[in-house]
Amino acid sequence: MSLRPSLFAALLVCALCLPAEETPCAAGAAETAARIQKRYTAIKGFSADFEQTLTHRESGAVEKRKGVLLFQKPFLVRWETEKPHRELLVVTGGEIWDYLPDEELAYRYPLSMVQDSRGIIQVITGQAALTKDFDVKPDGEEGNFVRLRLHPREPGPQMVEAAIWADRADGYIRRAELVDFYGNKNTVSFTSFHPGIQFGEKDFNFTPPAGVEVEDHSGKKTPQRELFK
């Protein structure tokens, strides 16, 4: 006796979702997100080489950048991009510095600028509250990666939806893509990733070089320019 088509399809989906190790189909998106957050809870920091692609929806313009990211808890960040878009962003224990060496200009911002889960830096460092601030849905698999679709429960201008790609073997995020209110995309992919690294205090300090103009926005709630973009 043959199975009905609908029942056969259901059994086929279940079969595809039962490899040797647990996948999002078996565990569910919420459990996968919780497993990712647990992984990041266990590490003190990491270093990574990254590639960033910025896509402007209206004009179709695409900008590509490369750089290095250092991260250490509780939330210390050093984000440095190469030519032709040289930039150094340092999140210290008390402030944020955004230094543009080619323009001999540095911006100073308050820490509140990076405390929102809906920012790209919170997502790629694994510090975004996935199970609290987002509706998380499975979005398939891609090679060695599990993909999750994120919809913030309180969308903001910088993020109306996002996606993350986590390595099935170790649970670390290797790629993230954020879509803002205007449909522009900010995609960051790690080309190398080294967890469990302990950095020195000097790695997250910044003093503007002599002759550099400093614009102090530490008392403002809105940045002069969007960070990590």
Q: Does residue 170 belong to any structural domain of this protein?
A: yes
Cα separation, 98 vs 53, in Å, equals 19
Q: Hey, how many other C-beta atoms are within 10 angstroms of the C-beta on 57?
A: 12
Is the confidence at residue 1, as pLDDT, over 70? no
Q: Which helix (H) or strand (E) holds 88?
A: strand 87-91
Mean pLDDT across the stretch 74-81? 96
pLDDT in tens, 46-68: 999 999 999 999 999 999 999 99
CA dihedral in degrees (21, 25, 30, 34; nearest 10)?
10
Q: Does residue 204 belong to any structural domain of this protein?
A: yes
Share of the chain above pLDDT 70, in %: 86
Q: Hey, how many other C-beta atoms are within 10 angstroms of the C-beta on 137?
A: 16
| Structural domain count of the chain | 1
Domain that includes residue 141, residue range? 25-216
Q: Does residue 15 belong to any structural domain of this protein?
A: no
Task: State the pLDDT at residue 201.
Answer: 84
Instruction: Residue 155: give its domain's CATH number.
Output: 2.50.20.10
DSSP 8-state class, residue 159: B
Q: Does residue 205 belong to any structural domain of this protein?
A: yes
pLDDT in tens, 200-216: 889 999 999 999 999 99
Task: State the pLDDT at residue 5.
Answer: 42
Q: Does residue 5 belong to any structural domain of this protein?
A: no
Q: Does residue 118 belong to any structural domain of this protein?
A: yes
Q: Does residue 183 belong to any structural domain of this protein?
A: yes
Q: Does residue 135 belong to any structural domain of this protein?
A: yes
Task: State the pLDDT at residue 224.
Answer: 56
**Coil, strand or helix at 101:** helix
